[in-house]
Structure 1
């Protein structure tokens, strides 16, 4: 492995950290970091792009489950292996729900751990082969060319710059995933990425969270604390639900953007920061400006490069791709043997409007995985879903309106064969007639053996 795997050991037992570290560093492919509690681990994640985490369950300061919940809430999807002497079924299930890939009991068998790490790193989920991938711009999600892929050209243009980006879209459309993608494709990719959910911060704490505070600045401020701007220095700060910021926080944010200076709460000293801002909201900020609830000057500072993410109901071709992706990841997480979806399952999903977008789709697949006793998800594993008002599916060719005869795959193959025949074998012309990308057509031709 040419690039070392950055591994974070989180354990309040120094001897146990030392033992694991010693064994890992004997291998040529691991770069090891340590933290003695969950809070320290979050600080490490803010500074380093960690590839895998070895996490103790029981710690005095922020235990393993609390850390895992906080890490997921902040958008860190790093694979986690729970290592504990207090493993219970309940804790293991909770850890798996939060995304832990496995649970090992102390004392650790290092051969077993190394084998597990090898499997995790070699099986890291990649985008489905039918997803359209840019050779220049790396996007970690699953998408189609006529869905989310339409905005990738915009992201590819803005990522190398330092311009502020405002991501617009309904809840659950993948705004934070896009923000992280911009960061990872920017010159700041080696710097920290900090995500803040502005809607989750109380009015009393929002300024302290963003800009930090001095010791004694307010009741409970027992020590000086760096804010997210300082922690993100040299990197990217993602402000989710930026429309929820208070008037005072908006004013300070504007100054930070204009002058690249911040002041901790309780301090009169200005600190220089070098941070790129990516903001997101599901609200109409322009309308809020007209109503006087959002600063116009801040709006124009944030809205340098707007990117609007379409809701899932306007990206129907991605529903089968995302469903299959979530089946793969959820089955692995829940230790189930489910390997695919029936045509009826996909048809029912493609007839649904998804008010909760991608997040709701993932939840539905997880629920179905739990209910499924076989290897394929069937229609009965889904709850009652209200169909589109038209009563017609708006899915991709793989899961479009119900065919009159034969399976969906048979119908799709027949359509491709007919398009190729009409185009005289010209793949570009056939792809245009089908309304799909040429790369997608190439993949389908190979899949159905039509070469």
Structure 2
């Protein structure tokens, strides 16, 4: 046998054409329609060469190359790209690709390149940095792909970004991708969950304090904004900031200066601000619960991250990605999921979004006794027949009530089930008048 070739291309006819000619030349082949599926194939099929299309709807070629590098797989990759996108192929070569072919692929040239690559055995080196957007690079053109196009425009700039979306949709991952794909990528990325910080200490945590400024302040302390100088500070759940801290943050956004708690020296920061919230800040500002001037400063470039239930086309590739991740972690041979497993997940509303999906797949991998995940490994999922209520507030209220019932009224546990902070849950309970 001449060798084993993995063909990764989202055009089925193109895959078939390459497959037939390669097999006629004595090669053994395996196919994958996108990068996420190819990662699953790598767990079972050990190729000598990978033929990789660069432009695919779900996990493109560059992202797949990143994952191959992270795994430390010693396999040469030949990338395939349209002639007009040779620049992309050059980027892939920089990431360690052995060679490239242009579409439409010339069969004779392809066979010569494969034979040469098998002889030379050039492999992908470990990477310290590679461009990546979205949830581990898994997204579709009609779903998160639309958001990715926005991120590619704003990431290289110093503009403030406000990421809007429900809990568990991957807001921090989006923030990290903005940082990683910016000129600040080699500087600190400091993530702050505003809702998790003690309300009395949040100002000190963000801006630092001087020795003796309050009880327990036994020494000078740098705040998160000083630690993030030159890099990016991610302020998650920014809607939870108390009013006095909102005023201080507004000053930072306006002139990049602040004073530590108890200090008189003005500190300058060059931290880029990326904020996130699952609340409607515009409505809160209209009610006087959030500073309107701060809202306008934060929302220079708003990014609306849709919930998983609105991009069900991404459930299957995400499942495949999580299978690959946890099968490798737990040392299990799992090739994918049965169709009825995927279909059942697509009917579920996912109140916890991607975070909840990841937990579900991890559990299934642990419980699985076969090579494909089956529905019996799923936890009980409340799946409604028909559309149910189309009022998002009604659905949100119902979920909170059910979480409280499930936990016997324990708000801390209910917040964990819902994937939100206890403070957010408390405000929702008051907002909806839940007793």
- In the superposition, the TM-score normalised over structure 1's length comes to 0.56
2:72 to 122, 133, 150: 122
Alpha-carbon distance, 1:391 to partner? 7.7
| Residue aligned with 1:279, SS | strand
1:269 to 265, 268, 283: 265
2:299 to 298, 303, 306: 303
Corresponding residue pairs, total = 267
Alignment partners' CA distance in 2, 1:328 and 1:251: 46
Alignment partners' CA distance in 1, 2:193 and 2:162: 15
> Counterpart in 2 of 1:378?
374
Distance 1:352 1:258, change over 3 A: same
Alpha-carbon distance, 1:145 to partner? 1.0
Alignment partners' CA distance in 2, 1:230 and 1:190: 16
> Counterpart in 1 of 2:169?
173
2:132 to 138, 157, 165: 138
Alpha-carbon distance, 1:120 to partner? 6.5
Alignment partners' CA distance in 1, 2:261 and 2:132: 38
Root-mean-square deviation over aligned CA pairs: 2.3
> Counterpart in 2 of 1:249?
245
Alignment partners' CA distance in 1, 2:262 and 2:154: 36
| Residue aligned with 2:206, SS | helix
Alpha-carbon distance, 1:345 to partner? 0.9
Q: Deviations over 1:39-66 (max 9, x none)?
A: xxxxxxxxxxxxxxxxxxxxxxxxxxxx
Alignment partners' CA distance in 1, 2:141 and 2:325: 22
Alignment partners' CA distance in 2, 1:391 and 1:151: 26
Matched, 1:368 2:364: yes
Alignment partners' CA distance in 2, 1:249 and 1:257: 12
Alpha-carbon distance, 1:138 to partner? 3.1
Matched, 1:356 2:352: yes
> Counterpart in 1 of 2:338?
342
Alpha-carbon distance, 1:228 to partner? 0.7
Instruction: State how 1:72-221 maps to structure 2 within 5 Å.
Output: 121-122=71-72, 138-139=132-133, 140-221=136-217
Distance 1:255 1:391, change over 3 A: closer
Alignment partners' CA distance in 1, 2:248 and 2:340: 53
| Residue aligned with 1:387, SS | coil
Alignment partners' CA distance in 1, 2:216 and 2:71: 42
Alpha-carbon distance, 1:387 to partner? 2.4
Distance 1:193 1:215, change over 3 A: same
> Counterpart in 2 of 1:323?
319
Q: Deviations over 1:53-81 (max 9, x none)?
A: xxxxxxxxxxxxxxxxxxxxxxxxxxxxx
Alpha-carbon distance, 1:184 to partner? 1.1
Q: Deviations over 1:379-433 (max 9, x none)?
A: 11002222254289xxxxxxxxxxxxxxxxxxxxxxxxxxxxxxxxxxxxxxxxx
> Counterpart in 1 of 2:409?
none
| Residue aligned with 2:274, SS | strand
Superposition misfits of 4+ residues, deviation over 4 angstroms = 118-121, 134-137
Asked if the contact 1:351–1:391 (Cα under 8 Å) also holds between the matched residues in 2, the reply is no
Q: Deviations over 1:254-291 (max 9, x none)?
A: 11111111211111111111111100000000111011
Alignment partners' CA distance in 1, 2:70 and 2:152: 29
Alignment partners' CA distance in 1, 2:143 and 2:268: 40
2:231 to 222, 235, 239: 235
Alignment partners' CA distance in 1, 2:299 and 2:292: 10
Q: Deviations over 1:239-265 (max 9, x none)?
A: 000000011110111111111112111
> Counterpart in 2 of 1:434?
none
> Counterpart in 2 of 1:99?
none
> Counterpart in 2 of 1:284?
280
| Residue aligned with 1:317, SS | helix
> Counterpart in 1 of 2:328?
332
| Residue aligned with 1:156, SS | helix
Asked if the contact 1:198–1:245 (Cα under 8 Å) also holds between the matched residues in 2, the reply is yes
